[in-house]
Amino acid sequence: MAQSEQKKVGSARPPVVAILGHIDHGKSTLIDYIRKTKVTETEVGSITQHISAYEITYTAKDGQNKHITFLDTPGHEAFSSIRTRCTNVADIAALIVSAEDGVKPQTLEVLKQIKECALPYLVVITKIDKPSADILRTKQNLAENEIYVEGYGGNTPVVALSSKTGEGVNEFLEMIDLMSEMEDKTADRDTLGSGVIIESKRDAKRGVLAVGIIKDGTIRSGLFAAALGTIAPIRFLLNGEGKMVDELSFSSPVQIVGWDKMPDIGEEFKTFLKKEDALSFAVQMSKVIRNHHQRHPVVETGISFLPIVLKADTTGSLEAVTGELRKISRERIMPKIILSSVGSINENDVKSALSAIGAVIIGFNTKVEPRVALLAERSGITILTFGIIYELTDKIKELLSLKEPRIETEEIVGNAKVLKLFGITKGKQIIGGRVLSGLIKRGALVKIIRRDTEIGKGIVKELQQSKIAIDSVTEGTEFGAMIESKIEVAPGDVLNAVILVTK
């Protein structure tokens, strides 16, 4: 009986902590300090654009070695779906708020996600070493946004720290440990490992690679991994940093290589002793009805498209860029992704671009082989690569502006009232009139308006004032004119002078 209960309870599971917050509030810098690394310096533009998982070991006050897995997330608004997945995988959330800037839009967005997932969280006030840092003001700002921390009307734990000096970092780790003990998460080390896929990509040497967080059990080489519609024989095992290991257990990040198809991020994966069982699970999951409805803009008649072949380094990046492109459109043109996939830009991408008039190839954190670049140049296909997402979206907006179809519209530049009709000769009418507004020029196209209805058009062939030929008349001026028109003009008609404007 006691043995059965012991197995049911299992072992204490180390916490998985999602680091969430607004862009440039110090999320990655905090993890860099804890890990004694400099990942932030290698990020393009010094901003995080991928989800990353790091397992750390630290010595607690009682002398025991404790494990924590951190999920570092991008702060840019484009990566909202990545942050949502993190809150679903994590046990605890650390809401990062800069002591300089206080609460920002993504702060509130991630707080909403945290609450929707009913995820325990603490607030981490960063950058307290900065001259403009103000911890008390930040706590007050949090309260103004209904984030009530301890000492300010609530019971949400709060820690203030500096990732530069290290002040408060140990308190942060101890608070994570305390919250983890209160959550009392357990797992069974002896069962076959299972978890959630948080990222996937195509490795040039090894093939399709997926990063997962193990939620239960242990994974060893020799097993078979399976997810929705795809399996992978685990010939060797990689930890979160890509180093070979013999086995990995719950809460650890794992890299599984060799999938026969790109696994969907956010999906559950399991491991099996037999390939047949893995295949059975993959097929069974494929039959599960998934709600992957995506919102597409309503396509109206007359809308043109900018065809795009989109390539990205990871599935998460691809998802983020696709989401941003769906938000971009102009009145008469919008982007249309005709092909999207993970990996470097290849010959097939160039051929796909050739199949659509005016198509461009957009790469995000991807490489272009020299021979592919040469093929694209010979084929007249433009390849644009980017390392920062907002630079990519800015360029797409620029392309849409340049490629938007131009239309000619009529613009009224002046109008005049017909006062008298002096005579008609072969479609040419001599009239007297007064300019009501704007300008009437010789050679202008005029619309003839009678009782607020357009009845025809004409051309101002001649203009006179005091029997002297002139080129134009302005508001309030009486004039004589010869109007060429098939429509007979009558006193009281209004002549609207129009020009064609290309927009």
> Could you tell me the CATH number of the domain that includes residue 386?
3.40.50.10050
5 domain residue, yes or no:
no
Do residues 437 and 387 share a domain? no
pLDDT tens per residue, range 426-476: 889 999 999 999 999 999 999 999 999 999 999 999 999 988 999 999 999
* Measured distance between the N- and C-terminal CA atoms of the chain, rounded to whole angstroms: 81
Residue 48's pLDDT is: 46
Full residue range of the structural domain in which residue 272 is found: 194-287
Residue 301's pLDDT is: 47
User: In this model, does residue 85 exceed pLDDT 70?
Assistant: no
Among 219, 252, 287, the domain-final residue is 287
Q: Where are the beta strands (DSSP E) in 282-366?
A: 304-312, 333-342, 360-364
Closest Cα partner for 95 from 25, 197, 16, 185? 25
Do residues 178 and 62 share a domain? yes
pLDDT tens per residue, range 52-76: 888 988 888 888 888 999 988 764 4
Contacts of 241 (CB under 8 A, 6+ apart): 54
Closest Cα partner for 159 from 120, 126, 115? 126
Q: Dmax of the chain from CA atoms?
A: 118
Residue 219's pLDDT is: 96
- Give, as one character, the DSSP assignment of residue 360: E
Mean pLDDT computed over 308-322: 88
Do residues 326 and 383 share a domain? yes
294 domain residue, yes or no:
no
HSE-up (13 A, CA, CB side) for residue 192:
15
Residue 6's pLDDT is: 39
Do residues 115 and 18 share a domain? yes
Mean pLDDT computed over 155-172: 93
Residue 44's pLDDT is: 41
Q: Report the alpha-carbon distance of residue 440 to residue 481 in Å, rounded.
A: 10
Among 185, 208, 226, the domain-final residue is 185
Mapped onto helix, strand or coil, the DSSP state of residue 7 is helix
Mean pLDDT computed over 201-211: 87
For the chain, how many structural domains are there in total?
Answer: 4
The better pLDDT of the pair 3, 447 is held by 447
- Give, as one character, the DSSP assignment of residue 471: S
The better pLDDT of the pair 176, 390 is held by 176
**Whose structure tokens read 């021979």?**
371
The better pLDDT of the pair 50, 309 is held by 309
pTM recorded for the entire structure: 0.66
